[in-house]
Structure 1
Amino acid sequence: MSDHEYIHTKVKSGVLIITLDDSATRNALGTEMCKQLVDRLDSFEETSEERVLVITGTEPSFCSGANVGNFRQRIIDKESLSSQSGSLPWGVMDAKLGQRNQASRYDVPQVVLRMFNLQKPSIAAINGHAIGAGMGLALACDIRIASEKSEFSEAFVSRGLIPADGSCWQLPRLIGSSNTFLLQYTGDRIS
């Protein structure tokens, strides 16, 4: 078993089991969790000993979405970069673009896309709430298996956001347009 701060991994008979573990945020996808997850997905694809991925979360949540607490720090970091004194505008722009390209690999939408583009089978073992980007993460897997206590919600609308996790593309293909509109326009929870 391999432990990081926000994910735990175990390999059993060729199956990699990743468990999201941040009880303080109900397994929300924060910056550090995303980095750990993407790096582990990269190594998963590179090894032949691990053939299938199962991703789950510590109860009571599979994943409660994006950790919006990280957004504030990212905005502050971007503002401090743009306020560097003595920098020429194109120097600041180059620095911003370089920082964005490096950091975007670990942004929540990119993590979901990384999961979707895995070259090996993936299974979401949903054992609790899958809210917002957490639902997007589950949708990005090839197979989703939910426990009876699972709940799903496209909660973006209740925060004035549009889904940026691929669910606008994935959900209609899985449950049809009308059901997708119902979930995304209301933000209601379903079980």
Structure 2
Amino acid sequence: MSEFLIYEQQGPVVTLTMNQPEQRNPLTGNTAVAEFLAAIDRIDADNSVRCVILTANGPSFSAGGDLREMKRQSTPAVSEMDIRQEYRRGIQRLPLALFNLEVPVIAAVNGHAIGAGLDLACMCDLRIASDKAKFAESFVKVGIIPGDGGAWLLPRIIGLSRASELAFTGDTIDAQQALAWNLVSRVVPHAELMDAARELAGRITANAAHALRLTKRLIREGMHSRLDTVLELSSVFQAVSHKTPDHMEAVNAFLEKRKPQFGS
């Protein structure tokens, strides 16, 4: 039985719901990372999945790292090398897994996304926020650094200056500020958050599964590759796409003035 993550699938959309609201859905000191990795493997292997929505139960999206776990790591019994290996074998596997997952992921941020919780939202492809959402890259507030990829992800989303401001101050911003800084693409009333996420997922999943996966792969590659490298990869992906049944169905549907019926 899952202790942290609820996995639900409706048609081509999987919803992952963090479910430790009393602890504000922490990502350390529990089974969160292991459950995320198992869910990502399951999604990656299921060609019927075309979109993922990530959200949480309770007033918080995720408070990030568990302070009791941090206290344990600060004791003399735990060495610096132990901590390094715990990060490498634990939470640092999560950004790599989400980055490499070819299925688009929407973060439906229902409340506070703090520290690693903000970084988790940044690991997703799109972010929609409730008007009750709050965001903070707050590691400096507890005397540590972004250890889970936030220093790489956040500047690529909101720019170096604004990412530095959040990381150096640890300040909290509200949903409207997050929208103004392009951290999220939309802010909706709290009660409408999941409806908005499902509507966006519906517009995404109306498209061919293989095209979605390969498009996400190209976008991710473009974050760290040269233009000529991405163009070469694009030519290969495009050659494959031209020969798929879904491409032929889309062309025929357009010519016949009807909606395409894509396979899984």
Q: Same fold (TM over 0.5)?
A: yes
Relative to structure 2, which stretch is displaced further, 59-68 or 120-129?
59-68
Q: Supply the AA of the counterpart residue of 1:178.
A: S
Task: Give TM-score scaled by structure 1 length.
Answer: 0.80
- CA distance, structure 2, for counterparts of residue 140 and residue 19 of structure 1: 15
1:42 aligns with 2:41: yes
State the shift of 1:36 in Å: 1.0
* Structure 2 alignment gaps of length 5 or more: 175-264
Percent identical among aligned pairs is 36
Task: Give TM-score scaled by structure 2 length.
Answer: 0.59
- CA distance, structure 2, for counterparts of residue 24 and residue 69 of structure 1: 14
* Structure 1 alignment gaps of length 5 or more: 83-92
Match of 1:18 in 2: 16
Relative to structure 2, which stretch is displaced further, 30-39 or 62-71?
62-71
SS of 1:108's equivalent in the other structure is: coil
Q: How does 1:5-154 map to 2 (within 5 A)?
A: 5-30=3-28, 31-71=30-70, 79=77, 100=85, 104-105=88-89, 107-154=90-137
Q: Supply the AA of the counterpart residue of 1:121.
A: P
Match of 1:163 in 2: 146
Match of 2:170 in 1: 187
SS of 1:70's equivalent in the other structure is: helix
Instruction: Provide the alpha-carbon RMSD of the alignment.
Output: 2.4
* Structure 1 or 2: more helix by fraction: 2
SS of 2:31's equivalent in the other structure is: helix
Larger Rg: 2
- For CA contacts below 8 A with separation 6 or more, give which structure has more relative contact order: 1
State the shift of 1:5 in Å: 1.3
SS of 2:124's equivalent in the other structure is: coil
SS of 1:125's equivalent in the other structure is: strand
Q: Supply the AA of the counterpart residue of 2:3.
A: E
Q: Is the 8 A contact 1:108 1:133 kept in 2?
A: no
Q: Sort the Cα spacing of 1:170 and 1:43 in 2 relative to 1 into closer, same or farther, 3 A.
A: same
SS of 2:58's equivalent in the other structure is: coil
- CA distance, structure 2, for counterparts of residue 57 and residue 20 of structure 1: 4
State the shift of 1:14 in Å: 0.8
- CA distance, structure 2, for counterparts of residue 119 and residue 173 of structure 1: 19
* Structure 1 or 2: more strand by fraction: 1
Q: Sort the Cα spacing of 1:75 and 1:117 in 2 relative to 1 into closer, same or farther, 3 A.
A: farther
